[in-house]
Amino acid sequence: MDPVTLGVVALMGAVATIGGAAEDLESDIGSQSNPNSQVQLAPQMGHLHRMINKAASGEPVAYGVWCGVAGAIAYLVMSLGMMPLIAIAMGACVAAFVHAIYTVTSHMGRIVGQSQFEQPLFMDVLTQSLGPIVGHGFITSFCIVGISYLMTIPLNGTPLHVFPLPLLAMLWGIALGAIGSSTGDVHYGSESEYQKFEFGGGTPVAIQGDIVTKAPLGAKNSMDVVNFCAKFGGPLTGFCFGLVVFFSFWNTVVFGVYGGIIVGIIIVILLIIMDNYLEVFARNKYGPYEEE
């Protein structure tokens, strides 16, 4: 076991945790992924709203693009001799710019696509939410390209991964998007958007679009959703992604290639047992969802 490599792996896990949390919160502001189509349906259900409808595809493709672009620009700037930290920040800046453009086109496109239901295009909603969306996106791209870069630098002669930086950044961006979409969704804007429905019922197709559009004071907006999600949803997603990154490398660094595979299988089995226990516990404690 090499302590320096292990330290780098731990650092990667920590950075990935921050990136994962920022990714989930960004998608909460933008109503991306699962609830996005439901916000889209709200005007048809008679609920005009002041929410952002950022339908820049699903999170995996979107984060593949932002992180891939950030990785490509960082790779280029580094090849021109710039310091890696500055290069990664420059890459994340360009990615943030691209992110902002896609946010504007998707929000405007989807709102205008509902114009027959008298849904106004609120420009102030867009301008107010754009900063937080792009800011969280910047943090995420920076973190993902950062961990990808750590994978490519040779530690004691061999890097953790042989792929070039842009390819790694894109792959980890897709992985993060998938984790943000699957883990974050559970604690997602949908709980905030559908708070009038009983907890535990999920969001069946019949209620999609039947969202809450008013807040305790004034209209509910996307910033209310992210405030709601920031306590558990974002950190949990970050924790999940951080663990994925950490356990992707920790076992092989500590136990070698073959030992690492065996340890990896043991970790997967333990996780299955823990998940099953958690689900059984939650269902026994809170009861199954019952149709009235």
Nearest approach in angstroms of CB 208 to another protein is: 7
Contact residue for another protein among 19, 102, 225, 234 (CB under 8 A): 102
Distance CA 40, CA 34 (A): 11
Contact residue for another protein among 83, 85, 105, 274 (CB under 8 A): 105
Contact residue for another protein among 83, 85, 112, 269 (CB under 8 A): 112
The single-letter code of the amino acid at 202 is G
Nearest approach in angstroms of CB 118 to another protein is: 5
From 273, 272, 291, 284, select the one nearest 202 (Cα to Cα): 291
* Residue carrying the six token digits 């920790």: 250
Distance CA 229, CA 148 (A): 27
**String marking each residue 136-165 x if it binds another protein according to CB under 8 A:** ---------------------------xxx
Contact residue for another protein among 72, 145, 178, 253 (CB under 8 A): 72
Distance CA 53, CA 158 (A): 44
Nearest approach in angstroms of CB 103 to another protein is: 10
From 161, 147, 175, select the one nearest 23 (Cα to Cα): 175
Distance CA 119, CA 104 (A): 17
Q: Does 268 bind another protein (CB under 8 A)?
A: no
Residue list 202-221, contact with another protein (CB under 8 A): 208, 218-219
Distance CA 11, CA 8 (A): 5
Kindly give, in sequence order, each residue whose CB lies less than 8 Å from that of residue 259, ignoring residues fewer than 6 positions away. 251
Residues that bind another protein (CB under 8 A): 37-38, 40-41, 44, 46, 48-50, 55-58, 61-62, 64-65, 68-69, 71-73, 75-76, 79-80, 94, 98, 101-102, 104-106, 108-124, 163-168, 170-171, 173-174, 208, 218-219
